[in-house]
Structure 1
Amino acid sequence: MKKQQIFDCADSILRSGELPSVESVAKRCGMETDEVVIDFAAWQSALPTRVRMSDQDDGMSPGVPEVITVAVSHIWQQAVDEARHHFERSEREVGVHEEESRRISDDTLNEVQQRRQELENRLREQGARLDELTTQNKALEAEVSVLKAGIASETTMLKQEEQIRSNLEHELNHLRKTHEDTKRTFDQRIKDEQRHTLEAVSKAEVDVRYYKNALEKLRDEVGKKESALTKDIHDLKGEIAKRDVKLETQVTQLRSQEDELKQFKHDAGNQSRELAKVNASLLSETNKTKRLQDRIQELETEIKRLNQKYLHATSDWSRRENVIRNSLKDKDDELIRAQARASSLEKRIIGQDEEIRRLNAKI
């Protein structure tokens, strides 16, 4: 049924003046191309036996002129011949295409075989590569185990360094506390010494001010007495001069005034005695002034001694402070070195961790 339908469709296309093809027949019959191929090939092979045209063909309608019949027959024969030639050419082309397809299939098969051979070779190479990678993996695992052992030893060393660091920090804290206590005690002692020294200096200054004031007062009194005595002496000298003048002018009256002269001599003796007393008092005041000056010098010497003692205490405190600072500096340097060693160990551990991660990534 399907074959007859395909034949009818091909015949109808051929009668319409077109060359049937698989696509046109499938389209005319409403079928798929794969369903039409076999029956269309059968139609093409049976077409020469089915189509026969001759001069005695009874297929023409009666009453048609012979010339027209001959012309139509001739045209039909040409069409049939042309269709036959076209069909033969199509068959040859189909054969060529089949040979080409066969050749392409053979080439494809050879290429597939070569590809298979290449894949087998690559598979063998991959197997060898896998064995090599397995060996490398074992070596890397051994290296990783060695690195783990090294990391464990480094971790142990790091813990020891941390213990040493903690001990050093504890010792440093103890030293700092001791330093602070010593500094506090020393500062308290220095403050006490300074307070006692300042009290002694203040007392000495009070004594010095007192003696200076007394000396000033004594000097004022001595000055006043000296000025009074000087004035008296000048007055006496003036009177003596006057009396000398009077004596010179009153030589003639000397005898008459002997009593007055004796009295004057007596008065002069009294004044001389008073002057001697004043000189003795002045000498005693001068000696007292010298004693006060000696006392002032002693006080100044005591002040110098106290200042030297204060300077000595200050230098001793500075020396002790420098010793403590040097000790703290040494401890700080040792702590810095320990921290540097710890940081270097941490860097080494980080580097080894990165190496392990890199090896794991390679694995």
Structure 2
Amino acid sequence: MTRTEDRLRAALDDAAQTVAPDSLVPLTVPPRRRFTWMAPLAVAAALALVVFGVTTLIPKPSDEPDRTAFAGAPTHLLAIRKGQAVVLDGTGRKVADVPAAQGRYEGVAATADRRTFFLAAAAGKDEYLLYRVEIAADGSPSRPRPLPGGAVRLAVHSFGSENGFAAAPDGSKVALVGLQSHPRTTAVVIDARTGARRTWSAPGSGWIKSVSWSPDNRTLGFLWWDGQALTKKATLRLLDTSRDGTDLLASRPLRTIEVSGPGIPAHGEMNVFTFNPDGETLTAQVQGAEYGPDDVPESALAGLSARTGEPTGWTARLPVDSFFVKTDASGNHFLQVDDGRLGRVDNGRFSWITKTHEEYEDASW
């Protein structure tokens, strides 16, 4: 249930309490006359009772953290909080701090083994140093090792809320997206072993975010907005990084970001997405339309075909309009970050990991 629905329910319930029970009369409908029977007080009370009765049948996700150990779920995750990297267990309890490095940690990305992670640390204005860290089975982290090649110069909008940093499943390379020299939007791919770099860019006022590597370790997916026509040309695109060229828009458009189907919010648009480990499907966070400045739009995770971009029928309702999604190695467990609070979706069910909004900026497992 959204916060708007909560407020509506409370207001209507309060209104119903002001109606004296003996003031209510049976509702009747005179023949061939419409609407004349609606006594205002009776309508308010009836509406309150109907809304109350309906909404109590819709399960509201608990606001308390779920300490369940989900079968097959990752036992540890690496999160960024206030510029520091920490290892948490699957229920959100802190296991260890990751040793500090030069700069402030801002982004984290995991490889397929979920033991090798990459960290991006801000080392100066629009400069990032990249590190590799290993997490042992007991959650203890290694000392971060810098990737060769020095700092990457790129104006990254946001690592967490826009998924602007991703590691190839085999750990061979990482990708960052942002602005390299205004107004050229750029994707940079760094070889994790040698530090060698390739860049793809597009001129103009476009906007790129939500990068994710396909399990083939070659295809980089991303969301692209054309700054001249935001609502018409926003697309999910696939870039074959093994081919020659530097044109970001030589990538293949898979679908527009508008998504519709059973269980998907009306007038929904993708905020972020991730490739699933099977290589055949994607999982996208889809947000419905907003109907006012105080409205909390509906939000859900939705499965899409990696071949056609069409919905597969899998959805999971979210209690918040998250701009974040990362999967585990099975494709059944997803991380969420909402306004600094960690959540998760396990086999289609949402639950919170942390109790309060604790300024988590990014996380991965």
**TM-score calculated relative to the size of structure 1:** 0.15
Q: Which has the larger radius of gyration?
A: 1
**TM-score calculated relative to the size of structure 2:** 0.15
Higher strand share goes to which structure?
Answer: 2
